[in-house]
Amino acid sequence: VQLQASGGGSVQAGGSLRLSCAASGRTFTNYPMAWFRRAPGKEREFVAAASWSGGATYYADSVNDRFIISRDNKKKMGYLQMNGLKPEDTAIYYCASRSTNPITYAGWSKGDEYDYWGQGTQVTVSS
């Protein structure tokens, strides 16, 4: 599976962006996908995850009620709609997918359990 993230940019606080993740390979549509981010000087952190169908979604507390993860398996695309952006959302955003299903609830947010990663797209939010 190869992933290509796009849609990042610079916005003012309160604005919105929609990130896209284009996937190739068969396993993308069969397993969960997720978005992670890495802010300057910080470790990578979980943002959101979606089940293979998109019917189940999971969010970090910091983005819950502001971000929406979705996917279109027919197009092999994943999305992250980001609303109400804050300066602390500034980071490089990565899409990720995996070839197994999480065994535990915590597994949805563990970066080490994701096998495939996109190159990242920069999101900068100014105050």
What is the pLDDT, as a whole number, of residue 22? 98
What pLDDT is recorded for position 15? 98
* Residues whose CB falls within 8 Å of the CB of residue 109, separated by 6 or more in sequence, listed in order: 34, 46, 49, 58, 60
Q: Which tokens in the block code for residue 4?
A: 């290509």
pLDDT tens digits in sequence order for the chain, 127 residues long? 999 999 999 999 999 999 999 999 888 999 999 999 999 999 999 999 999 999 999 999 999 999 999 999 999 999 999 999 999 999 999 999 999 999 999 999 999 999 999 999 999 999 9
- Predicted pLDDT at 47: 98
The reported pLDDT for the residue numbered 120 is 95
How many Å from the N-terminal Cα to the C-terminal Cα in the chain? 37
Would you say 78 and 63 are in contact if contact means Cβ atoms under 8 Å apart? no
Q: What is the pLDDT of residue 116?
A: 96
**pLDDT score of 10:** 98
The pLDDT of residue 25? 85
pLDDT of residue 27: 85
